[in-house]
Structure 1
């Protein structure tokens, strides 16, 4: 929130007035609370005194001095005559509730109070009984009509139960007097607060005016100084407060503004002269120089003149360099043409070499493939020879088995021949015995003769088989010897095949290495060919760049010729450029 100083000072007075009003309200609330507390304490003490009267007569009843009826009657009579405060009284009712004694409204005596309500419909006597039953005693506020009045007003009552007789004694105070007293106090205190607030606002207004009027005057002078008024006097210099200090500071600002105006005029002259020189520079004229600047701008004058001088020297050097660049570019172009021709010849030679090496590589690769296939065939032959050797060895073993079987058969035949011989002897003996037996042994002699003939045939057959087996054994021995020779020959063949396989494998590995080496050579030659082609392309590009450089050098020379240089810088050339770089 943006407020002026005067409004802020007046706001202090308004805040003070509001504070007084708030304090007034809090004071009145506190006063009302204190008065309510005093009335409540006084009412409770009065009811406790009345309760003491009932206790006194109940004691007389217990002592036998009075009967209950007499004691209760005397107690009611005493309480009906008792007064305190502003003619305040007591009443008594039982817990039904039923009114037993009301000094101000005797018409209520003996009536049922259950349906009795105040102006707001509150059944206050029923609530009083509830308070006594719950707490034994307590306060209750309700509206009740004052004696001699028609309108009900707020009333605060205190009730307390008397258990021996089942009674309830109470008394109340009309609290509208509290509101009247608080209102009267509020009016008097409000008037006092308004008076104090008015005084505070008046003092704030006077103090604010005494501050804001000089401040506004100095502020107006500040605005005029900002608009360029350096002749009008500064107000408030004779004051000894903060406003006087502001005026003194404003005087310093005015003096600084006067000095700044002089400096501005001087700066405008310097800027105008620099502007003229820059205009000539924009027209490619490098002859203008600055002269006659004030001491504050001497550095600008010196730096500008040196910059123009160095620029002139640099342009002169650029002009000389442009000539040299043009000559060098022409030489580079001629050399690039020669290099391009030689590079093309070398590329053609490399291309032919690459083709020849490619053919050799293909031939060596085919030789390596044939050697590899021969190696595979030799390996298969070696495997087959080894397998044949194994078969021959198995055949030798089989021949040995046949030889052993022939020997065993010869032994069996020998046994059979022996058996035939023994059978023949037995048949002969049987024939002798049959002959001795005569006629009785003729049949047996025939059998013996047949057995002998059978034994003879068996012996002949055995000798024939033995002879054949002997011949077979001889042939088997020759077969075993031949198969053994065959196995040894196959073993020698396998050894030679293995030597051949080793040689062929060595040849295959060498051919593979030669193929790989030739492949690498082919790749290297291909890369050389590609590099040579790239070099040829780069030579062409360099040639084009040299021609472009020559053209750009001519353009640069044309641009430099547009500048107008001082006569002293025209012949400096490269020496001036070196000095500029240094």
Structure 2
């Protein structure tokens, strides 16, 4: 595909379109042939089924006694012989031997053995038809058979169906040469149309390829000349308004850009020469300024080196340029102020070290006492949480038990109502059974009267002789139906009587069940009252214990916060002492012009002895209050003493 030109690709598209058109035409002809054959086969099947229903009608007349079997068969064959559909289509009948029973166009075949009869291709068609009817009951068979008025045999599709009561095979066939002729006509028509469309598409594809490929080739040649340096020749296709015109416009932009690029290169050469002269002058000025800056930087570096070594008495004395005089003055001023500040810091470091040591010792003692107090209170809070959880579970269990008992009471009351409804329903069923019994009695009387009427009708039909034979058959059937209706009414009446007795027994049993359920409801009500009292007591204990638990948890939180704050204070005091030592060692290496003040060192205060481990008084009082609550006592005293005895903090 990559080696094809644009015109070749357009022509290839036209060829593919023509091939697709021819393929669609062929598929359409095949579909038309299949549809016509299916339509003819369905029409043949339906006509044979009509003939089968005609024979069934006469066989029904034989069963009713209106005709004998020979009369019924003769009438059926006479009817089928005269039936026609289509142009020359007909019906025939053979038996299971096979032997021809009736053929409207070949009466000489009637009574002959057809088992050795073959079509133009040697197919034992009647033997195959008989086998299809015996095996499947009905089916299709294709063969070739002589067509009336034509010497050459024609293709034919036949449908046969067995009529088992008389041992017949009813069949009919349709010649398919008309399908071939119709498909051939359609092929000629569609082929002519497809050929005309193919020619039109070929011519249109060739013209389209030329109209697209010509301008593109011209543009490609102009691009090659532009790449070789030809910027004077005009661009073809600029006046077009399609894609070719846009490509020509883009090529025009490239040509203008190339011309502008040549002009810019000439201007750039001139600018580079002027810039070189200016660069020489700037480099000389930069060299002079750099020497002056070097002198100032060297002097400043000496001053910074002395300050880094701790000598704050050094000053800048070198001669520098006028623009660096401000830098020299600022450096000398800054190092003088730094000398004064460091002298003050050295004097105050000793006092800071002494104060931070005392703060650190006091913070350590406070931290130890706070940690002991927080641990004791945390153990108390944990134990109180466990007790609270146990009492809450007890209260929840009591509430659940109360809910279950109330649900059981409601279910028992609903069951009593259901039993009462069941009693009423069974009473209604018993009444309905009595009414149905009365209706069955009426049906029995109607059946008796119908039997008498049928008997009278039979007598009248017998008097009429042959003319009333059919009416006699109807009267006998009506009489038989009346007798069966009377017997069924008697059986239903017996069943309804038994059902009424069983319903009465069921009413008695349901009434006894209702009394038992009423007694159960009263017992469940007593249990509900007891469980409600237990639930109320457990809930009251859980509420009181929850209040105590809340107070202890608040105390635990406050103590933990205090312990955390003391830890932070201790850490801060130690950090302050360390920072003071570091600061003292840092400023000791600076040399200033002032004499250092003497450092006063204080002795650290003796550490306080650790307090003995004991249970705080508020915790002991809280535990005593919990014991009182567990026995169902008052809760207010336990809450009141929580705020006492916290002076240790």
TM-score range, shorter chain: 0.3 to 0.5
TM-score (normalised: structure 2):
0.40
Q: Which structure ranks higher in relative contact order (CA pairs < 8 Å, sequence separation ≥ 6)? A: 1
Which of structures 1 and 2 has the bigger CA Rg?
1
